[in-house]
Amino acid sequence: MTDAHVWTVDDHLRDADPAAVELWHRIDGLIRSFGPVTHSVAKTTITFKGPRRGFAGVRPWRAGVRGYFDLMRELPPDPRVLSASPYGRRLFVHQFRLADEGEFDEHVAAWLREAYDVGCGAHLGP
């Protein structure tokens, strides 16, 4: 019996486009600035976990990044948000894509900050 491959952040970044890797690192740095965060790495994505739960996942994808984040509301239409679906009673999972650094702005930063609050348990309140 052989050991199953344990995915790492480096596995996702190794052969990715350098601009996508840089964008991933910018997002990682922003998310880590919010407070305690850990990575949970799988073949499909790098999940960011707050003190209570995972709240976002991001991976390099072609010339940018793709991922998801969980919010307690559905965002209004935005070309970077590919879809939003209810997840449980209080959350919406938003699938997103950023094609380049220019799409990583204060709106995306605010969404990720709001998602971090979910990772801290904001969705569990009254």
- Convert the pLDDT of each residue in 93-113 to its tens digit: 999 999 999 999 999 999 999
pTM: 0.93
Number of domains in the chain: 1
How many Cα atoms within 13 Å fall on the side-chain side of residue 67?
Answer: 30
Does the residue 1 lie in any domain?
no
Give me the pLDDT at residue 112, please. 98
When pLDDT is averaged across residues 43-51 and rounded to a whole number, the result is 96
What CATH number should be reported for the domain holding residue 68?
Answer: 3.90.1150
Mean of all residue pLDDT scores within the chain = 95
Does the residue 105 lie in any domain?
yes
d(CA 125, CA 52): 13
What contacts 109, CB < 8 A, 6 or more positions away? 30
Task: Give all strands of the β-sheet with 46-49 in edge-to-edge order.
Answer: 38-41, 46-49, 54-61, 64-71, 91-98, 81-87
Residue 110 in 3-state DSSP?
helix
What angle do helix axes 106-119 and 18-33 make, rounded to 10 degrees?
A: 50
Does the residue 42 lie in any domain?
yes
Does the residue 91 lie in any domain?
yes
Q: How many helices (H) and strands (E) does the chain have?
A: 3, 6
Domain range spanning residue 68? 9-119
Does the residue 3 lie in any domain?
no
